[in-house]
Structure 1
Amino acid sequence: MPGVAEPPTVSVVICSYTMDRWDLLIKVIGSVQEQTYSAQQIVVVVDHNPDLYKRLIAAVRDATIVENSGPRGLSGARNTGVGLARSEIVAFLDDDAEAAPDWLEHLTAFYDDPDVLAVGGRVEPVWEAGRPGYFGEELDWIVGCTHRGLPRIASEVRNVIGANMSFRRDVLLQVGGFNVALGRKGSVPLGCEETEICIRSTVGAPGSRVVYEPAAVVRHFVPATRGTLKYMVARSWSEGISKAQVSQLVGHKRALGPERRYVRRVLPRAVFSGLGDWVLKGRREGLGRAGAVVAVLAFTAAGYVRGRQIAHADAGLSAPPLRAQWREAQ
Structure 2
Amino acid sequence: MTHRADGISVIICAYTEERFDNLVIAIESVKQQTVPAREIIIVIDHNARLLMRIRIKVPDVVVVENSGDHGLAGARNTGLAVATGSLVAFLDDDAIATPSWLEQLCVGFADHRVIGTGGTLTPLWELKEPAWFPAEFHWVVGCSYLGMPQTVTSIRNPIGANMAFRRRIFDEIGGFQAGIGRVGSHPISGEETELCIRARQLLPGSMFLHQPQANVFHHVPVKRTTWDYFCLRCYSEGLSKAIVTQSTGTRDGLASERAYMFRTLPIGVLRGFSDGLFRLDFAGWARAGAIIAGLSITVWGYVIGKASIHVAIDHKKLVHKIIQEKQEKMLSGKY
For 2:110 and 2:291, the matched residues in 1 are separated by 40
Q: Structure 1: 5+ residue runs without aligned partners?
A: 319-330
What one-letter code is carried by the residue in structure 1 that aligns with 2:84?
R
Name the structure 2 match of 1:197: 195
Q: Which moved more, 1:4-13 or 1:84-93?
A: 4-13
Name the structure 1 match of 2:146: 148
For the Cα contact (< 8 Å) 2:3–2:109, is it kept in 1? no
For the Cα contact (< 8 Å) 2:105–2:118, is it kept in 1? yes
Say yes or no: does 1:10 pair with 2:47: no
What one-letter code is carried by the residue in structure 2 that aligns with 1:16?
A
Secondary structure of 1:105 counterpart: helix
Q: Which moved more, 1:45-54 or 1:169-178?
A: 169-178
For 1:68 and 1:95, the matched residues in 2 are separated by 15
What one-letter code is carried by the residue in structure 2 that aligns with 1:128?
E
Deviation at 1:278, TM superposition (A): 1.0
For 1:305 and 1:241, the matched residues in 2 are separated by 8
What one-letter code is carried by the residue in structure 2 that aligns with 1:135?
F
Deviation at 1:7, TM superposition (A): 2.3
Deviation at 1:57, TM superposition (A): 1.0
Q: Which moved more, 1:10-19 or 1:167-176?
A: 167-176
Name the structure 1 match of 2:281: 283
Deviation at 1:280, TM superposition (A): 1.4
Deviation at 1:55, TM superposition (A): 0.5
What one-letter code is carried by the residue in structure 2 that aligns with 1:7?
R
Q: Which moved more, 1:6-15 or 1:143-152?
A: 6-15
What one-letter code is carried by the residue in structure 2 that aligns with 1:124?
T
Task: State how 1:244-259 maps to structure 2 within 5 Å.
Answer: 244-259=242-257
Task: State how 1:13-32 maps to structure 2 within 5 Å.
Answer: 13-32=11-30
Q: TM-score, normalised by structure 1?
A: 0.93
Correspondent of 1:164 among 147, 162, 165: 162
Say yes or no: does 1:37 pair with 2:32: no
Name the structure 2 match of 1:328: none
Note the alpha carbon deviations across 1:171-224, whole angstroms, 9 max, x for none. Answer: 123211000111110000110111100001111112111001110000000001
For 2:307 and 2:175, the matched residues in 1 are separated by 26
Name the structure 2 match of 1:173: 171
Say yes or no: does 1:57 pair with 2:52: no
Deviation at 1:5, TM superposition (A): 4.5
Task: State how 1:97-176 maps to structure 2 within 5 Å.
Answer: 97-176=95-174
Using a 3 Å threshold, how does the CA distance of structure 1 residues 88 and 155 change in structure 2: closer, same or farther? Answer: same
Name the structure 1 match of 2:217: 219
For 2:110 and 2:212, the matched residues in 1 are separated by 18
Say yes or no: does 1:269 pair with 2:267: yes
Note the alpha carbon deviations across 1:103-149, whole angstroms, 9 max, x for none. Answer: 00000111122211100000010111111001111110111111111
RMSD (CA atoms): 1.4
Secondary structure of 2:211 counterpart: strand
For 1:104 and 1:110, the matched residues in 2 are separated by 11
For 1:159 and 1:99, the matched residues in 2 are separated by 19
What one-letter code is carried by the residue in structure 1 that aligns with 2:195?
I
For 2:144 and 2:119, the matched residues in 1 are separated by 9
Name the structure 1 match of 2:295: 297
How many residue pairs align between the two structures? 316
For the Cα contact (< 8 Å) 2:108–2:211, is it kept in 1? no
For the Cα contact (< 8 Å) 2:2–2:109, is it kept in 1? no
For 1:174 and 1:49, the matched residues in 2 are separated by 31
Q: TM-score, normalised by structure 2?
A: 0.92
Q: Which runs of 4+ in 1 moved over 4 A?
A: none
Identity %: 44
For 2:292 and 2:67, the matched residues in 1 are separated by 41
For 1:236 and 1:197, the matched residues in 2 are separated by 21
For 1:315 and 1:6, the matched residues in 2 are separated by 43
Secondary structure of 2:88 counterpart: strand
What one-letter code is carried by the residue in structure 2 that aligns with 1:179?
Q
Note the alpha carbon deviations across 1:239-263, whole angstroms, 9 max, x for none. Answer: 0000000111111010001101001
Q: Which moved more, 1:6-15 or 1:17-26?
A: 6-15
What one-letter code is carried by the residue in structure 2 that aligns with 1:113?
D
Deviation at 1:56, TM superposition (A): 0.7
Secondary structure of 1:110 counterpart: helix
Deviation at 1:316, TM superposition (A): 4.7
Secondary structure of 1:289 counterpart: helix
Name the structure 1 match of 2:78: 80
